[in-house]
Amino acid sequence: MEAVLAIVIGVLYGGGLYLMMRRNLIQLIIGLGLLSHGANLLIFTAGGLRKGGAPILDEATNTYASAPADPLPQALILTAIVISFAVTAFALVLFLRTYQTCGTDDVDELKGTDT
């Protein structure tokens, strides 16, 4: 399963980097999203693909009922999802304002607009 996820992560990174090098701002934002999804899958895979139960203590023996899942990768992925959502929302608003001001979404045409 890790090999399949490694291939998927590579495809997401490759597609994201390819789209981020395009001249269109919308493709740049989509590439940013693909790159963030690849990073989330990388954290998920690095955390280990194993089954784990909820960390519920057995009162009689004061031990876990089953081997608990590691909460650190879950917390990191949740944080990464929130951050990537905020960055994507900011990039979309920035694109909308740039398009309203300059009337173009081509990065090369935006080079002479600094005032």
pLDDT band for 37, please (50, 70, 90 cuts): very high
**68 near 53, Cβ under 8 Å?**
yes
DSSP-assigned beta bridge partners for residue 53: 68
Torsion (CA) 61, 65, 66, 70 in degrees, nearest 10: -90
pLDDT in tens, 52-104: 777 777 777 777 777 777 788 889 999 999 999 999 999 999 999 999 988 88
Question: What is the predicted pLDDT for the residue at 114?
Answer: 65
Task: Considering only residues 74 and 37, tell me which one the structure prediction assigns the higher pLDDT.
Answer: 37
Q: Which domains does the chain have, with CATH numbers?
A: 2-50+71-113 (1.10.287.3510)
Kindly report the pTM of this predicted structure.
Answer: 0.80
